Amino acid sequence: MKRLNFIMGAAALAAAIFAATPEAHAQGESNRDEFGNIVRGPYETNKFGDNWFIGVGGGINFLLNDNFDGKIAPSIDANFGKWFTPTIGMRVGYQGISMQMWSDTPGLLGSTLDKDKNQYLQKAGYMYIHGDFLWNISNSIGGYSDTRFWNFVPYVHTGYFRAYGLDKVDFADNEIAAGVGLLHNLRLSYRLDLIIDMRATAVNGRAVNSSGLTILPTVTAGLAVDLGWPEFVRTSSILGAMEVANAEKSQILETAIIALEAANAALEVENANLLKKNGTLTKQVENLKKQPQTDATDFFEGMTPAAVYFNIGQTTLSDKELHHLDFLAKNLIATADKDTKIYVTIMGTADSNTGTQKRNMHLSEARGKYVFDLLTTKYGISKERLIVKSEVVKADAKPELSRAVVITF
């Protein structure tokens, strides 16, 4: 009993100290708008781990029953719960230690006569495991304020009630109990609250080996610690922030639209200039089409004759001259034969400065036929487009230039 008195006294002293401080009387302005009017939500839904609390306390109980005279006895509380909104919450809790009462007759819970009172003291242990539905009337009426010092929270509760005898008395009973309560929540700091819990519990008299209805009033005081993030954010403030963000985004979009319109205008000017240039080029192409076409025959006929050269007395070409013939065949002769009606003349020659006339004529003919065969078999030049001739160059010509096959168009 001395320990209980100490706990109650300490709780009362703490409440008095905090009630006297300026912070205790400070009322948060977060529950009022710019005109001083109370604002009541709606609020953002917090994460599952936010707004939990756990509390413990100690106090007294007093049993009321038609067959007993109540006697003050100690009681303790332990609770764990969560606020879903600033006004609605739930918790589960444990209440218990002992109940004491006076009876005119001895009973199962006590048979020793107290001569001063001429009554029998009855004692029983009890526990009450309950669930509570909480309503923060301060936030409901006055609007949510994260700095309000004193919150009044009425609640209803129900649960499992078990009574058992003390001093090895063989007694136990299990009942369903229910009742109402008022929770005083005094804000000490950001996460710590002083709680004063006033509860009335109704249970069948069988729980105390009696009849009728038993009422068990209880008052406890203790501390509660807030777990997770303990506050709430009003949706209107969220919407306000979203409106500001949307306004900023709108401004950015408007700037981007202006920039795009300017870029589009520049592209339209550039497109107009390109269309104008395209029109000019189209006219130039039309004019070129109207001009008389140059016959490819004129081009080839005006070319200087090409030649490949043989070594003295040889009727086949060296590797170097074969490369020259390869270039002529692929780049000039093949084109002339494929795309035009041009005849290619192959003139085989020989040097008259050496050898007999007969020998030189044989060399010139053999050289011409050698080039003819290469062009037709290796490079696929049509035979019908090739004319093979031969001659012996006069003695006054340069010998190294006379031993050749000259190709003309």
Read off the CATH number of the domain in which 388 is found: 3.30.1330.60
**Of 214, 231, 248, which residue constitutes the final position of a domain?**
231
Alpha carbons 388 and 363: distance in angstroms, whole number = 13
* 189 and 314 part of one domain: no
| pTM score of the predicted model | 0.51
Q: 75 by DSSP, 3-state: which?
A: strand
Nearest to 185 by CA among 57, 95, 20, 311: 57
Domain membership flag for residue 112: yes
Q: What confidence score (pLDDT) does residue 203 get?
A: 93
Domain boundary among 196, 231, 266: 231
Instruction: Evaluate whether residue 283 is within a structural domain.
Output: no
pLDDT at 121: 85
Peptide bond into 42 cis (omega under 30): yes
Name the residue range of residue 375's domain: 296-408
Domain count, the chain: 2
Per-residue pLDDT, 83: 94
Q: Looking at the structure, do residues 187 and 76 belong to the same domain, yes or no?
A: yes
Residue 275 lies in a domain: no
Contact 296, 342 (CB under 8 A): yes
Closest C-alpha to 386, from 400, 395, 374: 374
Q: Is residue 243 part of a domain?
A: no
Q: Is 277 inside a domain boundary?
A: no
Same domain as 166, residue 45: yes
Whole-angstrom distance, CA of residue 225 vs CA of residue 116: 45
Nearest Cα residue to 348 out of 302, 316, 380, 383: 316
Residue 248: per-residue pLDDT:
77
Please list the pLDDT of the chain residue by residue as tens digits (409 residues). 444 444 445 444 444 443 333 333 333 446 666 566 777 767 888 889 999 999 999 999 998 888 888 889 999 999 999 999 999 999 999 999 988 888 877 877 777 777 787 888 888 888 999 999 999 999 888 888 888 899 999 999 999 999 887 656 666 678 999 999 999 999 999 899 999 999 999 999 888 878 889 999 999 999 999 998 888 887 765 555 555 667 778 888 888 899 898 999 999 888 888 888 888 888 777 777 776 655 444 444 545 577 888 888 888 888 888 888 888 888 777 666 555 555 667 675 666 677 777 887 887 888 888 888 888 888 888 788 778 887 777 665 666 667 777 777 6
Residue 303 within a domain = yes
**Is there a domain that residue 79 lies in?**
yes
Predicted local confidence at residue 36, as pLDDT: 63
Identify the CATH number of the domain in which residue 48 sits: 2.40.160.20
- In this structure, the answer to whether residues 80 and 213 fall within a common structural domain is yes
Q: Using the 3D structure, point to which of 231, 258, 279 is the last residue of a domain.
A: 231
Are 207 and 69 contained in the same domain? yes
Residues 226 and 312 in one domain: no
**Is position 350 within any domain?**
yes
